[in-house]
Amino acid sequence: MDKVEIIAELEAMAAERMLGGKPWPCNDLAENQAYHSRFLELGLIEMIPDAPAGTHRNTDFGNELGVELFSIFVGHTCEWDAIYTLEKRGFISGVESDAFYDECEHAANEVTTAMIRKLVKRAYHDYRGQRGGIGRSGDVSPIVLPRLPVAMA
């Protein structure tokens, strides 16, 4: 497969998750394993020799094609890592990221997942609206985070 075909496959995988009604994040073990295996087959990630089992890293090719971002879009990611990556890629601002972490400090897991899902979906739509593909330039419109109830001890 060439780069264009691989990007088309990654975009189809992301669209299926973001637009096709599948839940985000992907909590199905078999689906997550299939994503991981496919990323390996495409040369986007590689296993790290002499590291604990299952330890992998992005390849240069994977970084070039934005595998980290596509991992988020398909829900094959640690939810909290998604916020860091979206900020690093310019899809959310540092102010939004800080506000998110402040608001979620005492929130229930379901609430934080819903907030992350909202940010990921917005980033996906921003990504799809770009002509150049990965990354976002210009002003970042803030997302309004709801006031969360403080967890009762």
pLDDT of residue 6: 97
- Please say whether the dihedral angle defined by the alpha carbons of residues 69, 71, 74 and 76, taken in this order, is positive or negative: negative
Q: Are residues 114 and 153 both part of a single domain?
A: yes
pLDDT tens readout for residues 99-141? 888 888 877 788 888 889 999 999 999 999 863 444 444 433 4
Q: Are residues 94 and 69 both part of a single domain?
A: no
pLDDT of residue 140: 38
- Parts of the chain with a pLDDT under 70: 130-153
Which range of residues forms the domain containing residue 105?
A: 90-153
Q: Are residues 128 and 69 both part of a single domain?
A: no
What's at 38, amino acid-wise?
R
Residues 6+ apart with CB under 8 A from 108: 151
Are 87 and 93 within 8 A, CB to CB?
yes
Q: Are residues 73 and 131 both part of a single domain?
A: no
Q: Are residues 66 and 99 both part of a single domain?
A: no
Half-sphere exposure of 134 (CA within 13 A, CB side): 19
Looking at 50, 77, 104, which one is the last position of a domain?
77
pLDDT of residue 139: 38
Q: What DSSP state is assigned to residue 90? A: T
pLDDT of residue 32: 95
Reduce the DSSP state of residue 141 to 3 states and report it. coil
